[in-house]
Structure 1
């Protein structure tokens, strides 16, 4: 037994050196690579209270929140008149204030509405408030509600896969409305993708697609884990109603 250990020493040394070099190597990220949102509280005690599905929920919620924050900035830049309805701040500062301050997602600027009510308000013909804020706050609070009213998850939390699935379908309705909802002059209520003879920019559609995809994947994963079926509702987008949770 001692002989075997002695003969294996060179191999052990090589493995140790390789691991040391790997630990000391710094990889420079591609400037075009996507930033993965990090969990703010990664201490051991916090992580001990989480299952794999809880960690997956954490990542999915953080990722979608980050996408909505980015989409809000882009929407303000495409629709500067909406930003000017409530503030003189830059789009970046306005979005940071909304996503980082402690406000319970209640904003007097949009009548303190949340969820599907705020989303529908953003497309109402007679609405004179900030359509961008109403839309994004509506989407974010809808996602929070679909996740049981939380943004971080532990063993004691329960998330219904049907609610996550319904949220994905609601985002699909929003994408359709952004491309089709027009005012009495035939103008889109909110400008998103750029489609003309000179430019084809579908960045909004791609980002919303990421949200839909991650919600669907999480819903399916939850369904398998909890052994709960998902009722699939087929609607025509032009007449579809927001699905409840």
Structure 2
């Protein structure tokens, strides 16, 4: 496995900044992959917003990269957007709405940032909360029904002749990355406090010794 090529921006990034940014990018890729899977199982959704599935995916990717409110979500952001995307009465492209809202929730949990440099901090509790919100969103998607009694979206496939849980596995990767990042940042801050205390305690013992 090879890492990314070195970029000059990395000179003003700490290790924590780099880890956070890499996790953010990986989660965006996972969400785009989930959008593709959902569109394949729910072709009626992409037909609401584009002429082809590929065109719909390009629109979703552009929305994730722009960071601007997505018009069909009526200006709502993060968890408010998720609530609307998962509302049974929502009539727009639910795949796009769901993926854009998930991404916006993750970005908001990272302080609204997509790139991270020195002095940029991330609240571990917010990232942890985002992971729990992804779990809740997945549960709602799997259990809630439209007024006609149909699933909001066809996602996992479990039947007597076939079993496809690739959607849930990919969503689990997003949750796992968020949890790992929250744990990493919590430990990082904890170690910083311990290191400071150690330096204070050890300071009296670090007097220079005579050399003659």
Residues 37, 63 of structure 1: 8 Å contact kept: no
Which of 39, 43, 52 does residue 7 from structure 2 map onto? 43
Q: Which runs of 5+ in 2 are unaligned?
A: 192-212
1:76 positional shift: 1.3
Aligned equivalents of 2:68, 2:159: Cα separation in 1: 36
Which of 52, 55, 61 does residue 99 from structure 1 map onto? 61
Residues 38 and 185 (structure 1), Cα distance of their counterparts in 2 relative to 1, 3 Å cut: farther
Q: Which has the higher contact order (CA 8 A, sep 6+)?
A: 2
- Name 1:200's counterpart in structure 2: 163
1:190 and 2:190 matched: no
Q: Which has the larger radius of gyration?
A: 1
Aligned equivalents of 1:166, 1:107: Cα separation in 2: 23
1:147 and 2:113 matched: no
1:122 and 2:108 matched: no
**Runs of 4+ off more than 4 Å:** 36-39
State the TM-score, normalizing by the size of structure 1: 0.72
Q: Which runs of 5+ in 1 are unaligned?
A: 1-28, 30-35, 229-245
After superposition, give the CA deviation of every residue in 1:60-110 in whole Å (9 maximum; x if it has no partner).
00100000011011111111111111221x223322233236643322233
State the TM-score, normalizing by the size of structure 2: 0.83
- Name 2:187's counterpart in structure 1: 224
Aligned CA-pair RMSD: 2.0
Which of 75, 78, 94 does residue 38 from structure 2 map onto? 75
Aligned equivalents of 1:105, 1:38: Cα separation in 2: 27
Q: Match of 2:132, SS?
A: helix
Count of residues paired in the alignment? 190
Residues 153 and 134 (structure 1), Cα distance of their counterparts in 2 relative to 1, 3 Å cut: same
1:37 positional shift: 8.8
Q: Of Structure 1 and Structure 2, which has the larger fraction of its residues in helix? A: 2
1:201 positional shift: 0.2
Aligned equivalents of 2:157, 2:104: Cα separation in 1: 27
1:210 and 2:165 matched: no
Q: Match of 2:33, SS?
A: helix
